[in-house]
Amino acid sequence: MIDSRKGGKPLGGALLDVLLKRTPDRRPMWFMRQAGRYLPEYRAVRQRAGSFVDLCYNPELASEVTIQPLRRYDLDAAILFADILVVPHAMGLPLKFEEGEGPVLGTVRSLDDLNALRPLVGSYEVRQVCETVRLTRSSLAHDKALIGFCGGPWTVASYMVAGGSSDRVDAKLAAFRRDPWFVALIDRLVVESIEYLVAQAEAGAQAVQIFDSWAGDLIGDQLQEFVLDPISRIVAGVQARVPGLPVIVFARGIGSHQIKAAALPGVNAIGVETELGLDEIDVNVALQGNLDPVALLAGEDVARREALMVCAKIPKERHIFNLGHGIRLGTDPAVVGAVVDAVRRSEA
């Protein structure tokens, strides 16, 4: 899949070029949370779908919102529209999103809770998500990459322990104590995440990103054991079954430890948080990031200036332009467009 060619160009365009260390014809660019409530066309589809969860499992509508940002902007990649909490949901935990309050998820706080979960393979949820991947791939232009994703085990576990968004203190406590149920939960999430990413790749995702948004909670042995080792096992497990599948690791907030994330075998790029300059780390893989999403709230002039400063730090051969975290609610779509145009013009 990743090497098939059409029109003389490799499938997947500039994004896959940078991930696979080929020379891209332009700086690849996409935005975390590029589909979402800041776009009026997203809000319209979301209303038709009913709830956010209904939208995630409606392949026609999920595929539509996956593609919407590429209709508006000259981007290089679409990211599958789903959520990191699809994994625990597909394992049997109830999930809903309360308006304005974020996710409400069933909890896992013991070995009994963990053992009650089912494997996600073959679940309704995963079948629907994979159908979204197939539909989206079949309607995307050949030079646009389709990115699949899952959450990092630490981040997903933190939601499972708390039953939703939290300060992650209960998960941290379990990590410090190495509670056997928590260690087993992380191991289980490694296994299920491998299955989930392999299913997405087989359905047509050409690269995958692991979102460990709360990785910066941990340091030292805990960072190694609950963030870096599990991610490393996922990368190895996925690439054993889908050889050469490019992987982007977004372990947000780990600062100088990004060097360790970049050195994990099989990793093709790391996503870097806004707080760390792209010229402050010396690694052998591509860097993705890291415009501050807050800069997009500051108007077109500021956003353009900051975006060009990010690009000035790194050549396009090693860079995937993105934000340091997701687009914020309240972002003006015109400002996103101004950033895309500025990055494109700077290379002309």
Catalytic residues: 33, 37, 46, 83, 159
In the list 35, 67, 95, 254, the residue contacting ligand 1CP (rule: CB under 6 A) is 35
Asked if 246 is part of the footprint of ligand 1CP (rule: CB under 6 A), the reply reads: no
In the list 92, 266, 326, 333, the residue contacting ligand 1CP (rule: CB under 6 A) is 326
Asked if 207 is part of the footprint of ligand 1CP (rule: CB under 6 A), the reply reads: no
Min CB(300)–ligand 1CP separation in Å: 21
In the list 44, 50, 96, 102, the residue contacting ligand 1CP (rule: CB under 6 A) is 102
In the list 64, 76, 83, 217, the residue contacting ligand 1CP (rule: CB under 6 A) is 83
For residue 2, report the phi and psi dihedrals to the nearest 5 degrees: -70, -20
Q: One-letter amino acid identity for 219?
A: I
In the list 36, 148, 293, 324, the residue contacting ligand 1CP (rule: CB under 6 A) is 36
Chain residues 131-160 in contact with ligand 1CP, contact rule CB under 6 A: 149
Asked if 46 is part of the footprint of ligand 1CP (rule: CB under 6 A), the reply reads: yes
Asked if 63 is part of the footprint of ligand 1CP (rule: CB under 6 A), the reply reads: no
| Cβ closest to ligand 1CP, residue 36 vs residue 153 | 36
Min CB(51)–ligand 1CP separation in Å: 8
Asked if 181 is part of the footprint of ligand 1CP (rule: CB under 6 A), the reply reads: no
In the list 1, 26, 52, 302, the residue contacting ligand 1CP (rule: CB under 6 A) is 52
For residue 273, report the phi and psi dihedrals to the nearest 5 degrees: -70, 160
Min CB(59)–ligand 1CP separation in Å: 14
Residues in touch with ligand 1CP (CB under 6 A): 32-37, 46, 52, 79, 81, 83-85, 97, 102-103, 149, 165, 211, 213, 326
